[in-house]
Chain A
Amino acid sequence: MTRELLEGSAAIAAAAITAGCRFFAGYPMSPFTGLLESMSRELPAAGGVCVNAESEIEGVNMVLGAAAAGARAATGSCGQGIALMQETIAEAALNQTPFVVFNMARNQQDYFQCTRGGGWGDYRTITLAPKDVTEAVAHTQLSFHLAELYRAPVILYGDPLIAQTRVSVTVAPQDHGPLPERDWVLDGTGGGTGRSRQVWTWAMGKATDPGPGPDRHWRAVADKFDAIAATEARFEQAHVEDAETVVVAFGTAALFVEYVVEQLRAEGHRIGWFRPVTLWPFPGDALAAATTGARRVLVFELNAGQMLDDVRIHAADRSAVRFIGGVSIAESGLAYGDLMDAPAIRDRILAALTGGASA
């Protein structure tokens, strides 16, 4: 595996293909577009299919079909496009079809959308939020593994800094361990035997084999998400042991926060940082431990306060939680605005340390 200078989108495409993705369908929407272009360029040579779908709804449903037929499959978009896909993401969560959705988001306002979904049913969506291109490459491969391990859609939540930054990366195959047998895949050979297969949200089985039925099936799916919540939460943290102040951030914004917090540490402040790597499952127990003893828990995110809810639920002392982020996006809608800036973040943290904090 050689090291290459690649744009984030191309690196993610290479990682997806390395992870065995053989079907991709998507509808252009910046900053996701680069990934679609990369896939359309690279996937056919790898023996796969990339369809420039006529809408996000068609794209995600093609992916549902391809995944039900056994292919590692993926789609993507951002914000409004992901909103159109939510109906099918929910359906896939409930009929247990694994695929990956690349949300190359324009900002951090997709947090609720990714972690709470917009579909129907007792489901959750595993969401990974890489902090840079290198981690996005690793997360891409992990996403396909988790999707198949749990038979559920997985969202990789990137942003313009990940999609459009050119970095030197190595895309090497990863081994995440064994996967369960794929005895549910529709391959067309079950017909006429009395044992034909079906992929169906209601799981009522064939007339000859009634299946679990909706109640038991949906309960089992909900139990599965409970099990994922207990085992798959990932996070990173530093200096939280003696911290009076813990700053929580995710995605590329967390890189800026980490830089500023390290500066303030060096200047003698008892401050640490905490980064949820998985937004769902949210690493709540880890956050509770990290914030025990902290007088301030500051949440920096580029929206009106969405992860703030999860931090409030899990922080050791919810009255210590303050929001220091805000809506911040360039007028083009395609890049972060003024707040994604180390001096601006430093000002907000310092203001909180000296008593004041933005609402």
Chain B
Amino acid sequence: MTGRNGDRIKLATVWLGGCSGCHMSFLDLDEWLFELAMFADVVFTPLVDIKEYPEHVDAVLVEGAVANEDNLEFIRLVRERSKWLISFGDCAVTGNVTALRNPLGDPLTILERSYIELADVNPRLPDEPDILPPLLDRVEPLHRVVHVDAYIPGCPPPADRIRKSLEAIRDGRLPKLEGQDIQFG
């Protein structure tokens, strides 16, 4: 079995500022993952060790909000190299838990509170240039930064909601969820 045009679909999943719960839910597809393997090649995902995001990806599910400079740079590359970019889970769709820092002020205030004021031992700000990416001023949902083609809300989205979306992609359609399938949380 292949995609609608007889070609195998090049599918990717990406993990930005999230907890990986959406990817755990993706694994909850259980035996349907075998069906997925019949029509799609998973060409990039944190679940396997691929270093570089490939060109000409048909659809990518992006988990997590845009929280730091690495996220920002990477999501722009992902957008450029993918036909359909799909917001995957509440952090990507709304900012959700990742964005809880936003009302508290700028990143430095939050880092000082977390790593200095509340530190029991060795209070110091995390600072490893080129290893730890600097936080952005504000955590943003994906569609505030790049064009998003479809949304899969949920924290995490249940496996059957992910399956419905992947079945739409298999059939050459953008997922358009409605009813209880668009419930946040």
Answer whether A and B are interacting partners. no
Chain B residues in the interface with A (C-beta under 8 A): none
